[in-house]
Structure 1
Amino acid sequence: MEYENANRVFLLNKDGKPLMPCRPRKARLLLKSGKAFVVKKYPFTIQLKYGSYGYKQKVSLGVDTGQRHIGFAVTSQDKVLYQSEVELRQDVHKNLSTRRVYRRSRRNRKTRYRQARFLNRVHGKRDGLWLPPSVKGKASHNIAWIKRYLAVLPNPDLHIEVGKFDMAKMVNPAISGKQYQEGSLHGWKNYEYYVLARDEYTCQLCHKHGEGVKLVVHHIVYRSQGGTDRVDNLITLCTNCHTTKNHQPGGKLYKWMKAKKKVTRQLKGATFMNILRKRIMTAFPEASYQYGYQTFFDRKKFNLPKGHFTDAIAISGIKSVGQMPETVAMISQFRKKKRSLHEATARKGRKEANRTSKRNAKNTKYARGLWLNDYVHVIGTNLRGYVQSYLSKGAYVRLSDGLGNYVIKDGKNYISTKLCKLITHNGNWQKAEQKLLLYEFK
């Protein structure tokens, strides 16, 4: 298998119509000579200043949808022209929950006697398409990124992998018929009675039971960490084991729960993929769809390792892989606006009350000519990175390489702002070209 140097660059003609992607060297020459200019950063796209219609080959776009990562691959004949992975934020639900706690606490203190309102947001749910903000954001990003790539490709064939899961059968493989309507708690007063009976009124940690043993129903994966009230996420414990000490790192319950979490099946991903499938099919009715089992066999046929972008290559409908880039574009979402109104905990050693103290330095958006997520070059070195945070009132910055790692200079993860030269401003996305290891494809 032959390897190209890097991903192709997307190209538009003078009228904004897509042309075949070009090699990076050609793109650099066009930009340097002033014959083209940059129109998009994600994915990187340039537009010609002179008329050109060019020869357009048949192009396919493969998409591996998901709630955490989205894989993309652009193929033509037996060549992979471009491959990338988009990583979505996973902290939206946690941030909204934290904001809700602060808001309710504040309203309880400030407007204690105000009458509660329950119908002031129902208008957003009447269309039948309402989704929680965290789920809606991920579904919208899947659709939006597909449209981004379609906009810079000449008449591509769109191939998408979707998921369809029977979650009841995932919990109980033997389920059938009217059992789908009855559920796991059929015939029981509530889930506590069911869990106690299922565990035979025995503590699952110390195995004590009988008279004099007080039992409680406990979550394996805590609700604060995404756990649910499903019965397969609940266990029976006695009050002697269900203590604060045992919950702490090193405690008996902590060790047991840590091992148990690994085998507890979470259905959030399956639920999201069922939701996404309907929206994707509505947004792209002309696309070709397939499921994971077909992708698995196609990827094995091409001798490709497991990965979101390699799945996208198999999904694209390519017959054989003759050439492919030796790099993959890793694009990740960055939380640029940190709107925390006050600190969750008081800063150690503060000299004034927390309610009147200035905002934490972590919320600084701009300092000494640089904004958060700006892409900069460190003068005198070949180091580049995105502005991640500020230190010492903006005198120093921490830079990220786009892959979740700090840029290190002289053994330190912070760099003087004076040494940082702006390359380009950024929105809330970061990109890094990750080199692939050849042995992964043997």
Structure 2
Amino acid sequence: MQRVFVLVSNKQPLMPCHPARARKLLRKEKAAVYRRYPFTIIMTHRVGGDLQPIEIKFDPGSRTTGVALVGHFNRGSEVIWAGNLNHRGAQIKRNLNSRRAIRSSRRNRKTRYRPARFLNRRRPKGWLPPSLRSRVDNVKNWMLKLDKLAPLTQIAVETVRFDTQKMQNPEISGVEYQQGDLAGYELREYLLEKWGRECAYCGAKNVPLEIEHIVARSKGGSDRVSNLTLACTPCNIDKGNKDIKDFLKRKQKRLKKIQAQAKTPLKDAAAVNATRYATGNVLKGFSLPIVFSSGGRTKFNRIKLGYKKDHWIDAACVGESGSHVIIPQAITPLIITAKGRGSRQKCSMNQYGFPRTGPKKHKRVKGFQTGDLVKAIVTKGKKIGTYVGRVVVRASGSFDIGSGEEKVAGISYKYCRLLQRSDGYEYT
């Protein structure tokens, strides 16, 4: 189980404690619940305490960033808290594309529209597209949150970097991180991400995968990354040096997919390459010692220690200290999903770009806003019961509570009690 964050009465962080100890303190009323996610208690009287070094580690990714807190104790380095931070960059890009299409449609119809603006704004130094900036901001926000909840002493970050030039031309020399024990780890990780960690020929998952030449080297194939894919051992043996068109002549759909995907660069690689400097600069602003390490070193540490692939586990294995980190078997990560803090769009549009609702009046209704964590105890009517979850507010005061398939509609605000304000993230 994850450790529980502890604050003293003046809100200064103490060492995180075991959940059993936190329950004991709450039962004896020596502490109170300060925050639900991540779970934090605050001491009612205690002021100080002994502290030990805690290192926060990040494994930045295009879609998910792994976060781990590693305590450096006398008995060794151990993970005490972990989380997977899911980004919403793809959703932001879809929203921007939709807005662009609606505005373009209005201009073409010569109806009410915002005039086009061209070359009238300068992009500041270090500018990133909103879909990429959100990834950097998420890392910054969680660094701020955890810095207030735990006595952090050091930062370690994986410099998620795919050297695409080295992959396209393997004869290039002088790249230190691809020498010695780490040789080939960057290329393998790139291929695993590009091909979805499955066999390109049969789609097998959760099996050992081998690097496979689409055009065999004996037939003139190169070691360029555009000629490499992943295959399970049986498929790799069956294909041998056959032409891929002959090998997959009965699977034309899969053949076309492989041919198209082989030449397509990995978009996620471009995303992490574009944000790695911004992420590093943001974390440097926290005035803590910071260490950068390559993705190849992370994977080398994880495989050497025998841990499975996961973003938070990769975060724990970042850097030199990741070569001997202990991950308790009972620990489970907190799944954090970025949801945003509402929309600036005044009203919703139909498929033709015309307003279908009135403009929003108030973001908060009856003291609640969409995304707040609430507990509702309904004592009468058809929906008697207790409901806990995220709330979706309406101006009428009749709310929806829950998430996914367990959502319950039509709960009056009078039954709702606030547990935690919305902070732009959803927790599992």
TM range (shorter): 0.5 to 0.7
Q: Does 1:65 align with 2:79?
A: no
Q: 1:49: which partner in 2?
A: 44
Q: Which structure 2 residues correspond to residues 216-295 of structure 1 after superposition, within 5 A?
A: 263=262, 265-285=264-284, 286-295=289-298
Structure 1 Cα separation of the partners of residues 335 and 43 of structure 2: 26
Structure 1 Cα separation of the partners of residues 4 and 13 of structure 2: 11
Q: 1:84: which partner in 2?
A: 83
Secondary structure of the residue that 1:21 maps to in structure 2? coil
Q: Does 1:309 align with 2:312?
A: yes
Q: Residue 323 of structure 1: which of 328, 332, 345 is its match?
A: 328
Q: 2:338: which partner in 1?
A: 333
Structure 2 Cα separation of the partners of residues 146 and 167 of structure 1: 30
Secondary structure of the residue that 1:60 maps to in structure 2? strand
TM-aligned CA deviation for residue 305 of structure 1? 0.9
Structure 2 Cα separation of the partners of residues 70 and 326 of structure 1: 18
Q: 2:348: which partner in 1?
A: 342
Q: Does 1:426 align with 2:422?
A: yes
Q: Which structure 2 residues correspond to residues 206-221 of structure 1 after superposition, within 5 A?
A: none
Q: Which structure 2 residues correspond to residues 346-425 of structure 1 after superposition, within 5 A?
A: 355=354, 357-359=356-358, 371-377=369-375, 379=377, 384-387=388-391, 397=400, 399-400=402-403, 405-407=404-406, 414-417=408-411, 421-424=416-419, 425=421
Alignment RMSD: 4.0
Secondary structure of the residue that 1:371 maps to in structure 2? coil
Deviations 1:161-183 (A, max 9, x none): 1122233444x336869xxxxxx
Deviations 1:63-117 (A, max 9, x none): 1112211111122234321111111113101111211222333355247997x65
Structure 1 Cα separation of the partners of residues 91 and 282 of structure 2: 26
Structure 2 Cα separation of the partners of residues 281 and 88 of structure 1: 17
Q: Does the aligned pair in 2 maintain the 1:85–1:328 contact within 8 Å?
A: yes
CA pair 98-365 structure 1, distance change in 2 beyond 3 A: same
Secondary structure of the residue that 2:103 maps to in structure 1? helix
Deviations 1:107-159 (A, max 9, x none): 55247997x6533212xx2x421111111121222233223323332242322
Structure 2 Cα separation of the partners of residues 107 and 255 of structure 1: 41
CA pair 266-148 structure 1, distance change in 2 beyond 3 A: farther
Structure 2 Cα separation of the partners of residues 387 and 290 of structure 1: 41
TM-aligned CA deviation for residue 312 of structure 1? 1.6
Q: Does the aligned pair in 1 maintain the 2:316–2:325 contact within 8 Å?
A: no
CA pair 415-263 structure 1, distance change in 2 beyond 3 A: farther
Structure 1 Cα separation of the partners of residues 306 and 113 of structure 2: 64
Q: 1:173: which partner in 2?
A: 169
Q: Does the aligned pair in 2 maintain the 1:81–1:324 contact within 8 Å?
A: no
Structure 1 Cα separation of the partners of residues 398 and 290 of structure 2: 51
TM-score when normalising by structure 2: 0.64
Q: Larger deviation: 413-422 or 136-145? A: 413-422
Sequence identity percentage? 25
Q: Which structure 2 residues correspond to residues 72-111 of structure 1 after superposition, within 5 A?
A: 72-76=67-71, 77-89=76-88, 90-107=90-107, 109-110=110-111
Deviations 1:289-339 (A, max 9, x none): 211111112112322110011112222725242635432211111245242
Count of residues in correspondence between the two structures: 331
TM-aligned CA deviation for residue 343 of structure 1? 2.0
CA pair 370-155 structure 1, distance change in 2 beyond 3 A: closer
CA pair 69-357 structure 1, distance change in 2 beyond 3 A: closer
Q: 2:211: which partner in 1?
A: none
Q: Residue 150 of structure 1: which of 147, 150, 166 is its match?
A: 147
Q: Does the aligned pair in 2 maintain the 1:343–1:360 contact within 8 Å?
A: no
Secondary structure of the residue that 1:269 maps to in structure 2? helix
Secondary structure of the residue that 2:357 maps to in structure 1? coil
Q: Larger deviation: 310-319 or 80-89? A: 310-319
CA pair 260-280 structure 1, distance change in 2 beyond 3 A: same
Q: Larger deviation: 136-145 or 263-272? A: 263-272
Q: Does the aligned pair in 1 maintain the 2:107–2:113 contact within 8 Å?
A: yes
CA pair 255-323 structure 1, distance change in 2 beyond 3 A: closer
Q: Mark the structure with the bigger radius of gyration.
A: 1
Secondary structure of the residue that 1:85 maps to in structure 2? strand
TM-aligned CA deviation for residue 261 of structure 1? 5.8
TM-aligned CA deviation for residue 427 of structure 1? 2.8
TM-aligned CA deviation for residue 20 of structure 1? 0.5
Secondary structure of the residue that 1:138 maps to in structure 2? helix
Unaligned runs of 5+ in 1: 1-5, 178-231, 233-252, 347-353, 408-412, 433-442
Structure 1 Cα separation of the partners of residues 165 and 14 of structure 2: 47
Q: Does the aligned pair in 1 maintain the 2:373–2:391 contact within 8 Å?
A: yes
Q: Does the aligned pair in 1 maintain the 2:365–2:393 contact within 8 Å?
A: no
CA pair 258-394 structure 1, distance change in 2 beyond 3 A: farther
Q: Larger deviation: 96-105 or 25-34? A: 25-34
CA pair 175-132 structure 1, distance change in 2 beyond 3 A: farther
Q: Does the aligned pair in 1 maintain the 2:4–2:18 contact within 8 Å?
A: yes
Deviations 1:39-71 (A, max 9, x none): 555533333332432122232222111221111
Q: Which amino acid aligns with 1:428?
A: G
Structure 1 Cα separation of the partners of residues 47 and 367 of structure 2: 39
Q: Does the aligned pair in 2 maintain the 1:163–1:277 contact within 8 Å?
A: yes
Q: 2:244: which partner in 1?
A: none
Q: Does the aligned pair in 2 maintain the 1:168–1:175 contact within 8 Å?
A: no
Q: Does 1:137 align with 2:143?
A: no
Structure 1 Cα separation of the partners of residues 11 and 364 of structure 2: 34
